[in-house]
Amino acid sequence: MEIDPFIFRLSIFILSIFIGYYVVWSVTPSLHTPLMSVTNAISSVIIVGAIIAGLSGSLENVFDIPNIFGFFAIFLAAINIFGGFLVTQRMLQMYKKKKKDK
């Protein structure tokens, strides 16, 4: 009997939870805020689905209802991607070591 591809995706999912568990425990507590903003940014990879939805329209009618939802989703996810990564970058720039000469 053939294995349903769903099972493979489930395996990826479960293993990723475990990877997440170990990786996140190793994050230093002082970087927990950047952790939240970067997880925010990466969870916006949902934009992949939004782009598929946005491009699904026919030639005659670009603004079909499902597309419009896709466009809005692209808009929201894009705010998150740019905002999330950039604000993380801004925060991480501030974490500096003690200067030796002082």
End-to-end CA distance of the chain: 70
**Under rule CB under 8 A, residue 101 binds another protein:** no
Residues 3 and 46: their CA atoms lie apart, in Å, by: 27
**Under rule CB under 8 A, residue 2 binds another protein:** no
- State which residue, 3 or 98, has the beta carbon closest to another protein: 98
Task: Give the residue among 40, 34, 53, 36 at the shortest CA–CA distance from 79.
Answer: 40
Which residue in the set 1, 2, 7, 85 belongs to the binding site for another protein (CB under 8 A)? 85
Where in 14-73 is the site for another protein (CB under 8 A)? 14, 16-17, 19-21, 23-59, 62, 64-67, 69-73
3-state secondary structure of 93: helix
